[in-house]
Structures are given as C-alpha cells and as structure tokens.
Structure 1
Amino acid sequence: MKNDSSMTVSSLSDDIDQDPINDLFPDPFTALPPSSATDYSYNYFTQPLVQANYPLSLARSRSDATSLGTFVIDESASGTGGAHIIDDIHESPKRHYELRRSLKTRHIQMIAVGGVLGNGLFIGIGRIVANSGPLGMILGFLITGIIVFSVMVSFGEMVALIPIAGGISAFGSRFVDDALGFALGFCYWFSLAIAIPTQVASGALLLTYFGAFDPSRISPAVMVVVFLLIIILINCFDVRVYGEFEYVFGQLKLVFLLVLIIFMFVMNRNGVTPQPGKSTIFPVKFKFWDSSLSPDYGPFRPFFEVSDTKHITGSTGTFLMIWTAVVQSVYCFSGTELVALTAGEARHPRKSLPRATLRIFFRIFFLYMLGVFAVGLNVAAGSNQLPSFFTPWSIYNSQRFSWIWSTTPDGNCQSGTLNMKGFANSNSSPWVVAMQNAGLCIGGAVTTCCFMFCAWSAGNSFLYASSRTLYALAVQGKFPRVFRRCTRQGVPFVSVIFTFAIALSVFLVSFPNSTAITIYYWIRKLTSIPGTLVWAGICLSYIRFYYGLRLRPDIVQRDMPSYPYRSPFQPYTAYFGLIGCVLLVIFNDMTIFIEFEWQYLFASYVSLVLFLICFLGYKFWRQTRIVPLSQLDLDLGRREMDQYESETAAELVRMEKGLVGRGKRVWRWIKIFAI
C-alpha cells in the first residue's frame, strides 16, 4: 500500500495554520485535565474509545493518522502494539493480520542466543587469532562488546517504552526518516534471509570432518536440504512452540560453550589424559604468550601480514591487528539485536525485554571474553593449522573443491581436510586444533558435531528474525500487504515462506559446483555490513528519540519512576555506538587500503551501496522528509501498551508476589551469578 503523502507526520501542518502538535495528537491525547497538569501518571485510556462496526476481533477500536499510514488499533491484537495498516478504516479485514503475545522472558533470551552462537565464535575465530595474536583478539572483542552494549541498551530503552514489532525499521521511520526505516528494514531482512543458507551450509560442511561424509560420496547439499526443511517446519509452528524449541536449543548451546571453556582451562594445565597412543603438548600455561620462545608466540603477531610479501611492523602494525580483530569479531556479535525483534510477540514486553536484553548481552559478552582468552592460551597464533588472514584474489579464485582424509599435522588424529573457497571444516577451528594437539581425537569429533548443531540453530533463528522483519515492513506499508497475513496462531506464514524461498534460491545458485562457490563468497560478504548499518541506525534513532521525548512533557519522562527502562549515560552512550558503527562500516576491510584489489573493494562495500540505493530510491519515490523533533510519533504503540499493561496488571502481580514469585526471583539471581 502506498501511503498518501498528506498523511505523513512531516506534512500534516504544511497547509494548516494551527499548531502542528495539535494535529499530531487528537483532542483526547493532547490536553491534560486541569487537575493533571503535573500528574504524569494520567491514563489516556480513561477517555472513551470510538466504537466501530467491526468484527469481534477488532472490537473497541479507533483509527489514527500517523507517519506509518492509517491504522486500526486493535487492543486484542499484538503486532506493532495492536496497530494494523488497512487501505480504508471502513474495510473489515477478512483474514488474520496480527501476531500473538505468547513469548516469555526465557524464550526471548534464548532466541537471541540461537542467533549469536553460530560458527563465528567457533570457526571464524581462528582467522582472528592467526592475524592479531591472543591479546589483539581479546582487545578486539572487548572494543566490539562495548559498541554492541551501547547499541543494545539504546534499543532496549526504545522498545521498552514503545514495544512494537519490527522496531529496527519502525523506529528509523518514526524518529528519523521513513526512507531510513525502509532501507534499514529491507537490508536487514535481505541479509538475514541470505545468511540462512550460509549458516546451514557451514554446518553441513562441518560433517566433512568425518570420513563417512566424504563429499564425493555424500554431497553436503543433501544435508543442507535436510537442515533447511527442519528449519521451515519449526518456524511454521505456533510461536509458543517455536519459543520452546529455541529455549531448549539456546540452553544446550550455552551449556556447551561453558563446558568447552572450562575444558580448555583444565586442558591448559594438563588436567586431561590423552587417548592411548596419542601425544600431547600440554601443559603449556602461558607459553604461547611468550614471544621470546618463538616468533609464532607472543601476545601480538610479529607483524601485520597484508600479503606474503608485504608486512607492517611497529605501532601501525599493532593498531591494524587490533582493528581487524574488532571488524572480524562483529560477525560473532551479530544477532544480539534479535531480542528486541520479539517485541510484538512478548507477553509482558516492558518487563521482559529490558531484562532479557541486558541478561543475554552480559552472558554472551563474558562467555565470549572467557572463550577467546582460553583459545589464546591453548593455540599458538603462528600455527600453520589456522587459516591465513589475507589471500590474493588470484589465488583464491583458482582454488577448487578438494577433500583429503589424512592425519593432522601433529600426527594424532585422522580427519577430513576441506578446501572449498571461503569454507572449511573444524580442522581450522582453534578449539578443535587444541584438542588434536592434546591427543583428544574423540573430543575433537564431538566438538565438531556440536559446532554443526550451533550453525544450524543460528539459521533457525535467522529465519524467525527475517520473517518478522518482513512482516513489520508490510504492516508499515513498505511491502505488499500480503506479507501481513498470519495463521490463526499468529504466525506470519506468507513472510516465513517467502523468506525461506529466498534462502532456498540462494542455496540452489550457490552450491555445490565450484563456479557457483565464488558467487557464494559474494553472498557471504553481502551479509556482513547490514548488521552494522542497522546498529548505527538504532543509535541514530535513539538520539532523535531522546531529544524528542524531552519535548513531550505530557508523557512519562526518563527521570520518572514509572519510566519502563532508563539506559545508562545517555545520550553519550548512543553517540559512542553511532560513531563506532560508522567507523566499522567505512573501514570494514583495512587491507584494501594497503593492497588494493577491486574484487575485495566491491565485496566490502556492496552492502553499503545496496543500503544507499534503498534509501535514496524510497526517498525519491515517497518524497519523504526528516521528521522534526517536535513531531516525532511517541504515542502509537505506547498508548496501546499502557492499556495492555493495565489489563494484565493482575497477572503481573501474581507473577511477582507470593511463594512462586519469590522463588523466581531467587532463581533469577542464581542464574545471574552463574552467568
């Protein structure tokens, strides 16, 4: 549906002489009663609601003209705070268009875990330690973690006050420019959609570690198809069922990572006996941090290796090591924003979302820091078993698919070594390399299976997040209305099926013949930058939200006890996140500034080009403008949530009080201290 330009917030007062604020907020929502001049707890919903002749599913509704079009506010629905776009407010919807608020806090946390704990930490980390050394890798993860923290607390505050589905695109539209919301939403949806097959294919290729899965006999494509079919099946279930699946998967992944970290520390002290007939290099303690023992050891690499013939030493080289670790670790943190995408399906979003956002971030951050520290202790950064950082395109483009069943370089374990443009199995994972060096071949095999499960689970979370993003774009009128259609259980099945079709088509044109593998490389690069662009858009939206909220004294303010969640050190936190994300986008590949190759230049910035095309194209088509601060829409979704909370207040009281509530609080603190 194409919105009438006369209905955009920025143009409501173009031809009217009265105060534009009065146009934005109808009478029941602009003038407070005299007795409430200083009482900010005034409930707007004490005003009578406009009755309309709609079906029972849309009873007690009213219409509002906003920057997102004409909405029918449905108190019983939950998508975008109960707001649904229709062409005409007199049109009676004949199909289901709303999500259901069925996800609990525990579900929300584990959905984010499913997206974050993929092969970035388990496989991709090998390239980081080989390029930056153990200390450089730790500093890179630390800097990236601070940037991500800035993004997440900013996003969490906006979503807590206005818990709408698809906040990534909706907040950009409402607080900055409708074109920005479209560009962020489209790029995020598209990047997640094409990331699904990359995660699943990575998981399938991990099986080539085992001789029984020789690719010449059993194509990894078979396993990819099986994994994709399971993913679409799970995502078609009721969101409560999907939430339970993700809860179990997320718990398994967290337990696996925690056990793996503990095992690495025990192994470092030679607390694990190697298998019979196998040798071990442990205990090593801090041996790999001592550069005086070998040029392959040390907290940093001896130089920053641009290519085989070009090395950069000194402070410049050290800086480049840390910065490339920052850039590459971004991929490991991608997916933390999935917490806020559940806003339209969370049972009590104002309580669950801030809690889930902070809890899952700190769990992931501390586990990541412990994990990279453990890896740096047990694997030499100069080991030839780790993948190299830079490969000239001429060499890379000449590579062909190969698989060899042989003994690992340490002579301990038999495994399949894969060489497939941009892909590798767990032989290049520092976690598995450490176990092979310890003579624990069975441990390396079990770990590989767990890696495969984590990669598949990440693809499952990506399909959920991308389908909800597409649904939100349709609700906002930025995509065809058909993508709003849901099942009776509130599953946006059209968005799910269409997104899955995109993922499947990407897989079919990219796998498994060797020529198409090059295409697959471009697809992987296309998924790297949109996440960082989305983070930058979130911080920019928050900055505008922060200053716009100060111009609205008629609604709850940040310094009031009733404010749902107040993120720390604002707006400086959001400014830091915005600057950090912009730098990550601009300098996402430092090597192209030193060793120029146009293929890598295009691959590094194709996502930015796509974003600019979406932004400028939509801006030209819809003639959008930056929304003035005084006209930001801070009501749609917030007012509906106020009434939703008042209607479910009794349920919240039962949850927080009594023996069950006290038990939950005790268990919550136990989990926090247990990470």
Structure 2
Amino acid sequence: MKLNPSMTVSSVSDEDPIDDLFPESFALGSNTIAYGNINTNPNYNNYPPFHGHSTGGISLRPYPSSLTPSHSIPSSLGTFIIDDAASGTGGAHIIDDVGPDHDFPKHHTELRRTLTTRHIQMIAVGGVLGNGLFIGTGKILGNSGPLGIILGFLITGAIVFSVMVSFGEMVALIPIAGGISAFGSRFVDDALGFALGFCYWFSLAVAIPTQVASAAILVTYFEPFDPWHIPPAALTVSFLFVIILINALEVRIYGEVEYVFGQLKLMFLLSLIIVMCVLNRGHIPPQNGKTTVFPVDFLYWRSDMNNSDYGPFRPAFEVTSSKLIRGSTGTFLMIWTAVVQSVYCFSGTELVALTAGEARHPRKSLPRATLRIFFRIFILYMLGVFAIGLNVAAGDNVLPSFYTPWSVFDSQQVSWVYGLSQDGNCISGTVNMKGFSNSNSSPWVIALHNGGQCVGAAVVTCCFVFCAWSAGNSFLYASSRTLYALAVQGKFPRVFRRCTKRGVPIISVLFTFMIALTVFLVSFPNSTSITVYYWIRRLTSVPGTLVWAGICLSYIRFYYGLRLRPDIVQRDMPSYPYRSPFQPYTAYFGLIGCVLLVIFNDMTIFTQFEWQYLFASYVSLVLFLLCFLGYKFWRSTRIVPLSQLDLDLGRREMDQYEAETAAELGMMEKGIWGRGKRAWYWIKVLTI
C-alpha cells in the first residue's frame, strides 16, 4: 500500500534503504524537513530534491553535502531522509518498507538498546575465553619456550590494543549496529565494508561448530564418553541446539546469561592461575600418593646443557625432528610463531563494539567496556602463560609439535585409550582423532598431572568444556548481528533485518545457525573429511586479523576526515566521547601489524611446504579479495573522499538523546541530595 496524503509518518527506523521510489503524494508531520532522491546511481554527489506533497509545513530539499550517502546506498534503491526541524537537533532517519507493495510498517526491523556495561563486557569474555588459551597454548609453549610465549602474547596484545582503542573511539562517537562493516563502507569504500562484513560473518559462523566440536572432544577425557559409546558428533549437535535456544531469547535476558557465563569463566581462569602458582611452590600434596612433590620455581627457565627441555627458549626452532633452525634466526622464528598462534587466543575481543546497536548508553558504556575487557583479558593472559611456563617444561613430549605432516589428517586412524596418561600419574582418556586431541595436550592439565592432581585435572577439563561451548554461544550472537547489519545496509537480502517483537534478529540467528550446523555435518563426522574440518578451523583465524586491519584503516580515514569537519565535535574538545591515545600512530601500528600477520600467518609453508597448508592458510585472504573486487565491480563503488565522509547519521541521534538525558539530570535537585540522585541514575543506567 502506498503512502497517501491522509497518512502521517510518526516513527522511522535508522539507516534503512527502500526498494521502491516514493509515490507522488505523501504526508509527514509538521515542522519537518524532508531530504530525498530518486537517482539510481549511488556515485552522483548532487541529488535532486524529491517532489512530494506537503501538508504540515514541510520543505523539500536536496541532500546537504554532509548527508550525501554516495558510498553507502546501493544502486537502484531510493532513499528518503527525514530531518526533525522542530527539535532543533537535526536528527536524521531513513524510512523503510515504503512502496507500491508494502505496508508501513510491515514488520519489526529494529534492535533494542537494553545491554549495559556489564553485559557488554561479559559477551566479549564469552567469545575470547575459549579453547585457544586452554588448549592452544600448549603448542605455543612447545614451539617457543616460556619466554617466547610471553613475548608472543605481549606483541599480539599490543596490536589488539591498537585495534580496540581505535574501534572504541569510532563507536563511541557513532554508535551504530554492525560497525565493522558500516565503518568500512562509510570511511573507506562500500566494497571494503561488504568484504569485511561478509568474511567476518562467515568466519564466525564456521567458528561455532569448531568451538562446540572441541568441547565434545574434550569430554572424551572421561571413560563414559569414549567416542565409541557416545560419538562426539552427537554431543556437538546437542550443544549446538542449546546455543540456538539461548540466542533466541530477548537480548536483555541473553545479556544476563552471558554475564553469568563470563563471570564464571573469569573466576575459573583466575582460580586456575592461583592453583598453578601454589602448585609451583609444591604446597599441594599429590592425590595419588605416588608422585613426589617439590618446589619447581624457575627450574624450567634455566638453560641446562644436560637437558634441552629447559630454558627460556627452545634450543632450536624445530620444524621436524630432523630439521632444526638454530641461532638468532631460530629465536626470531620462535617469537614470531608465538605471535601468529596467539592471535587465535585474542579473537573475539572486538565483540565489545558489535553490541553498539543494542547498548543502552553506548557513549558511556562502550569506551569503558572496551578498555576494561581488554586489560582484564590481557593481564589474565599474561599471568596465565607465565604460570604454565613455570609448571610445564617446553620440551615435554605431550605438548603438540610445530609441524604435523598432512598425511596424519588424511589417514583413517582414530584412537582412544583409557588408562594412565602419558606422564603416568593419572588415569584418563586420551583421544587422537586425525591430529585433534583432548585436554591431555593442554599445558594446564599436564601441570596438574605432573603434580598428581588427578581430580583437579578432571574438574579443569569440565571447565574447558564449558568455556569452549560458551565461546560458540558468543560467536552465534556476534555473527547474527553482523548479518543483520549487512542486511540493514542493503548488502544482504532485507529478510535478514526482520526481528521479533523483543528485538531479536531471528532470521539472521536461524540462518547463521543453519550454516554452522551444515558446516559441522559436512566436515566433522565423516572419517574421510577431517581434512576439510582442519581447513575450516584455519578459516576462522585469518578473517579476524583482516577485520582488525580494516578497523585500523577505517580509523585512519575517520581521523583525517573528522579534522575536515569543524562544525562537529573535535577530538580536542571536552565533549568528545572518547579519545584514544597516540593517534593516528596507534592505528598505523595496528594496521601494519595486522597486515604482517595476514601475510605470514603460517610459518609452516615457509619451512616445510605442503600445498594443503598453503591453501588452508590463504583461502580466507582469497575469499576476502573476491568479495571486495566482486562487489566493487558489481556496484561500481569508489573510495569515499575525505571531505564526504558520513559523520552525521548515528551521531546526531545520539547527540539528541544525550541532550535529553542531560536535561533530565538538570531538573534534579541541587546539593548533596541532588548529587546522590544523579549518581544513582548513572548506576542504574550502566549496571542494571
């Protein structure tokens, strides 16, 4: 049904393109300025005014230069921006679903801002604390030594810090949903926004089954869950369906669930670090009565010519048992390998900014959550890798090796043995499924086994299962919101914008879940397709680094574009929401670091070339380039000039909201009682 002169538009959604041109007559509320266009070429900078019918003091104008959306509107889509002149704030919105075959409004397409600071922080914790830290650190320790793993995490942490503070500043000023894709489109090129958004969504979608399958494999540590009685595939499918049920909940309830999960994971990690420190001093008696306990101190850090397993670094970079690289070159390769492999442990920190579209007060909560969650994770990570380096020798033969011949993945052997672990202290199940092992290869479990803490190792394994499953839960949230944002921007079919009455993008959630389930069913259960599963697991790490690079590039353009807009708040003003340190050099450092990580993301292909490793390492980069070039040629996009960066949509609405909040606070009483009421107001806003 078309709009007609008797209809009045009273509510609109944010930044939504429409499928059809407006009818010749329509009606809007009084004191409204309407900007519109009927031009089908998105690369034109000058838009003619849309000629409509005014019944309430409406003036029709062409797009002002600050609202020219030449980089974000797909071709053949009409767009209509409404500016509320009566409010005096210039808030801009775009009507959706208006045309000859659409009702207004036809369905719910908006998220709800109900997440507080504590929710946002714990959603990110849920994505970061997965099996990367608890299982993946074993391979890094075995390759690089206790000092090498610390340096690797330190360098990666510096790169991630650069990315996070840059992203946090942009989101604080312009808190919009799907910032990863939206900022790439606004500040660089619409094709870059599409490539970043699609690759990030797809990588998260395929990361869901890898995390959940890892949880299922970890369960095989216990005898009742051996692979022949309860297949890991059955456990994985069960875990996946629990995840979809949680993600279908209202976002406020989902936030509470993630808050509880995140707190449990943080307490578990902190407790585990404390246990490692006490175990190192020999203050925990063994439970099996067979192990001799003595203070380890820095024994594994001391270089010993009689024992090559000890020392801050490995004696040589071991490509294979017969191919060793010694000297400074070998030390450099150890550190760089630790940097590359630790990226997977930090994946998910950007989930903080993905909540911008559902944060209650994004300018208050997002900068605070960004910094808090990074420093919490970084400090705990550094303490964690230091603790495992104290308690496990880097040369322990239970730790995974740097290089595994591809023939291992192609073989049909699946083994599971229940009995004494390889250290001979505890009874557990040891599974080897085409190169994938359970928690017996975790340095945390190895340390507990060495100390005779068999019950403790079993409890820790249970916590590992929970952490891996919870990470998959966070990934479904992040990937579904990314898909929703792509649909809002017109880069995906509009059906993925559809939300429930409580603001859950249910179509995006269900579609992403089906992709995750399909990927798992195709790759994991079949004995001949574990190779595909390995490729998929590698597919989840490189796109994250590409996204980090895109964030830094977007910020650099944002930084210089903001300086050309003296009419809006600048970085040196007190009212600027959040000013990240040492910019733009911080963003340049992050960009260069991420580019190097993408290029040299797997040292295996440089030291022991196999074409399968080459494909697994760079298929994500090829997919990204195909998305970028394909979208660029299809939509004929171009790099947005700095003078035309869209710094208005999203920012002005938040300015208006903050002005209303300030007015509400200003009406409160003065004095001690008034200050107390204002303090209680912000406590409720940011925490409840």
Counterpart AA for 2:330? G
Q: CA deviation at 1:276?
A: 4.1
Q: CA deviation at 1:628?
A: 0.4
- Write the distance in 2 (CA, Å) between the matches of 1:138 and 1:556: 40
- The residue aligned with 1:287 is 299
Task: Verify the 8 A CA contact 1:112 1:339 in the aligned structure 2.
Answer: yes
1:68 paired with 2:72, answer: yes
- Write the distance in 2 (CA, Å) between the matches of 1:51 and 1:273: 81
Q: CA deviation at 1:410?
A: 2.5
Task: Verify the 8 A CA contact 1:227 1:456 in the aligned structure 2.
Answer: yes
Q: CA deviation at 1:641?
A: 1.0
1:128 paired with 2:146, answer: no
Tell me the alpha carbon deviations over residues 289-320 of structure 1, each in whole angstroms, 9 at most, x when there is no partner: 11215100100001111122211000000000
- The residue aligned with 1:20 is none
- The residue aligned with 1:146 is 158
Matches within 5 A, 1:67-146: 67-69=71-73, 70=79, 86=96, 88=98, 92-146=104-158
Task: Verify the 8 A CA contact 1:10 1:626 in the aligned structure 2.
Answer: no
User: Residue 45 of structure 2 is aligned with which of 3, 9, 12?
Assistant: 12
Tell me the alpha carbon deviations over residues 498-537 of structure 1, each in whole angstroms, 9 at most, x when there is no partner: 0000001011112222112221111111111000000000
- Write the distance in 2 (CA, Å) between the matches of 1:100 and 1:49: 32
- Write the distance in 1 (CA, Å) between the matches of 2:499 and 2:603: 45
Per the alignment, in what secondary structure is the counterpart of residue 419 of structure 2?
A: strand
The gaps in structure 1 that reach 5 residues or longer are: 17-22, 24-47, 53-62, 76-80
Task: Verify the 8 A CA contact 2:130 2:471 in the aligned structure 1.
Answer: yes
Q: CA deviation at 1:657?
A: 7.0
User: Residue 193 of structure 2 is aligned with which of 174, 181, 189?
Assistant: 181
Per the alignment, in what secondary structure is the counterpart of residue 93 of structure 1?
A: coil
Per the alignment, in what secondary structure is the counterpart of residue 11 of structure 1?
A: coil
- The residue aligned with 1:19 is none
Q: CA deviation at 1:567?
A: 0.3
TM-score (ref. length: structure 2): 0.86
Q: 1:615 to 1:645 in 2, by over 3 A?
A: same
Tell me the alpha carbon deviations over residues 541-600 of structure 1, each in whole angstroms, 9 at most, x when there is no partner: 000000000000000000000000000000000000000000000000122122211110
- The residue aligned with 1:575 is 588
Q: CA deviation at 1:283?
A: 1.4
Matches within 5 A, 1:480-519: 480-519=493-532
1:529 paired with 2:575, answer: no
Counterpart AA for 1:597? E
- Write the distance in 2 (CA, Å) between the matches of 1:157 and 1:268: 41
- Write the distance in 2 (CA, Å) between the matches of 1:499 and 1:323: 34
- The residue aligned with 2:561 is 548
1:630 paired with 2:643, answer: yes
- Write the distance in 2 (CA, Å) between the matches of 1:287 and 1:531: 37
TM-score (ref. length: structure 1): 0.88
- How many residue pairs get matched? 624
User: Residue 252 of structure 2 is aligned with which of 229, 234, 240?
Assistant: 240
Task: Verify the 8 A CA contact 2:431 2:437 in the aligned structure 1.
Answer: yes
Per the alignment, in what secondary structure is the counterpart of residue 418 of structure 2?
A: strand
Task: Verify the 8 A CA contact 1:111 1:461 in the aligned structure 2.
Answer: yes
Per the alignment, in what secondary structure is the counterpart of residue 436 of structure 2?
A: coil
User: Residue 396 of structure 2 is aligned with which of 383, 389, 414?
Assistant: 383
- Write the distance in 1 (CA, Å) between the matches of 2:682 and 2:443: 38
- The residue aligned with 1:271 is 283
- The residue aligned with 2:371 is 358
Q: CA deviation at 1:395?
A: 3.4
- The residue aligned with 1:261 is 273
Task: Verify the 8 A CA contact 1:84 1:98 in the aligned structure 2.
Answer: no
Per the alignment, in what secondary structure is the counterpart of residue 240 of structure 2?
A: helix
Task: Verify the 8 A CA contact 1:166 1:472 in the aligned structure 2.
Answer: yes
Per the alignment, in what secondary structure is the counterpart of residue 445 of structure 1?
A: helix
- Write the distance in 1 (CA, Å) between the matches of 2:82 and 2:503: 17
Q: CA deviation at 1:392?
A: 1.6
Q: CA deviation at 1:66?
A: 5.7
- The residue aligned with 2:628 is 615
Counterpart AA for 2:72? L
User: Residue 403 of structure 1 is aligned with which of 405, 408, 416?
Assistant: 416
- Write the distance in 2 (CA, Å) between the matches of 1:459 and 1:131: 27
Tell me the alpha carbon deviations over residues 599-642 of structure 1, each in whole angstroms, 9 at most, x when there is no partner: 10111000000000000000010000000000000001101111
1:318 paired with 2:331, answer: yes
Task: Verify the 8 A CA contact 2:181 2:486 in the aligned structure 1.
Answer: yes
Task: Verify the 8 A CA contact 2:162 2:587 in the aligned structure 1.
Answer: yes
User: Residue 578 of structure 2 is aligned with which of 558, 565, 570?
Assistant: 565
Counterpart AA for 2:152? G
Per the alignment, in what secondary structure is the counterpart of residue 574 of structure 2?
A: coil
Task: Verify the 8 A CA contact 2:45 2:68 in the aligned structure 1.
Answer: no
Q: CA deviation at 1:663?
A: 8.0
Per the alignment, in what secondary structure is the counterpart of residue 139 of structure 2?
A: helix
Counterpart AA for 1:86? D
User: Residue 160 of structure 1 is aligned with which of 172, 188, 196?
Assistant: 172
Counterpart AA for 1:68? S
- Write the distance in 2 (CA, Å) between the matches of 1:8 and 1:560: 38
- Write the distance in 2 (CA, Å) between the matches of 1:391 and 1:382: 16
Tell me the alpha carbon deviations over residues 59-80 of structure 1, each in whole angstroms, 9 at most, x when there is no partner: xxxx9856333266699xxxxx
Tell me the alpha carbon deviations over residues 469-523 of structure 1, each in whole angstroms, 9 at most, x when there is no partner: 0000000000000000000100000000000000010111122221122211111
Q: CA deviation at 1:244?
A: 0.1
**RMSD of equivalent CA atoms:** 2.8
Q: CA deviation at 1:424?
A: 1.3
Q: 1:624 to 1:261 in 2, by over 3 A?
A: same
Per the alignment, in what secondary structure is the counterpart of residue 209 of structure 1?
A: coil
User: Residue 440 of structure 1 is aligned with which of 447, 450, 453?
Assistant: 453
- The residue aligned with 1:213 is 225
Q: 1:635 to 1:82 in 2, by over 3 A?
A: closer
Per the alignment, in what secondary structure is the counterpart of residue 220 of structure 2?
A: helix
Tell me the alpha carbon deviations over residues 10-54 of structure 1, each in whole angstroms, 9 at most, x when there is no partner: 5314x99xxxxxx9xxxxxxxxxxxxxxxxxxxxxxxx99699xx
Tell me the alpha carbon deviations over residues 245-290 of structure 1, each in whole angstroms, 9 at most, x when there is no partner: 0000000000000000011001100111111423045311000011
Q: CA deviation at 1:651?
A: 6.5
- Write the distance in 2 (CA, Å) between the matches of 1:83 and 1:197: 38
Q: 1:636 to 1:438 in 2, by over 3 A?
A: same
Q: 1:101 to 1:485 in 2, by over 3 A?
A: same
